[in-house]
Amino acid sequence: MVQLVVEMTRYLSGQLGTTETNNYITAFTEWREAGGGLFDHPWFGWDNPYERPAPTDKNAGWTLYHVHLAPFKPNPIDFVGAQAGAFEAANKTYVNWTLSKRKKRRRPTSDDVLVYAWDKGLTPHHFLLIDILASPNAHRIARMENDTDRAQMLAYLKVSEDYVFYKKINL
């Protein structure tokens, strides 16, 4: 079994509360110890580094990652003012995600993600759970379509690099 160190920002812990903080850390650890694959834990799906914003130090590699979370059953109220068809798409993702493991199908990409830092340079690997971006905004924020989204992604990059390079948790 791979040994891991999993920590969480004070910001995310404050959003989740004590019980959910412990649940997320435990689930993330179990998922990573199982290999971090698509079907290694029911809460987690596709996992990738953020390609944008680019790392400050190109030689250091990626530090900022995200994993798609199992979507919650969408509430139409959360989609008031959202793009046309957003609720229907979220509901379809929820249904397909729910059926995917049972039918051994590819899991769809949800619009709920856990943003995290990954320090691959240490043994054991160190992870910092930074934030959860919820539907319907996670992909829009990652695309950095406006100044607010860009500032948020740059802040996540700074948190991830401070953690990986200096072991500081700044959020």
The pLDDT tens digits for 27-71 are: 999 888 888 777 777 778 878 888 777 667 666 668 899 998 876
Say what the pLDDT of residue 124 is.
Answer: 80
Look at strands 113-119 and 125-133 and give their pairing.
Answer: antiparallel
Tell me which residue has tokens 């950095």.
144
C-alpha to C-alpha distance for 56 and 46, rounded to whole angstroms: 24
Residue 123: CB atoms within 10 A of its CB come to 8
**136-143 own/partner pairs: CB under 8 Å, 24+ apart:** 136/78, 136/79, 136/82, 136/83, 136/86, 136/90, 136/111, 137/111, 138/66, 138/111, 138/112, 138/113, 139/111, 142/50, 142/52, 142/66, 142/113
Helix, strand or coil for residue 65? strand
Say what the pLDDT of residue 116 is.
Answer: 94
Which of 62, 69, 68 minimizes the C-alpha distance to 160? 62
Query: For the chain, what percent of residues have pLDDT higher than 90?
Result: 26
Give the single-character DSSP code of 26.
H
C-alpha to C-alpha distance for 10 and 126, rounded to whole angstroms: 17
Q: What is the pLDDT of residues 102-157, one digit of tens each?
A: 555 565 577 788 999 998 877 788 999 999 988 778 888 888 889 999 999 999 99
Say what the pLDDT of residue 137 is.
Answer: 80
CB 75 within 8 A of CB 102: no
Return the bridge partners of 113, or none.
68, 133
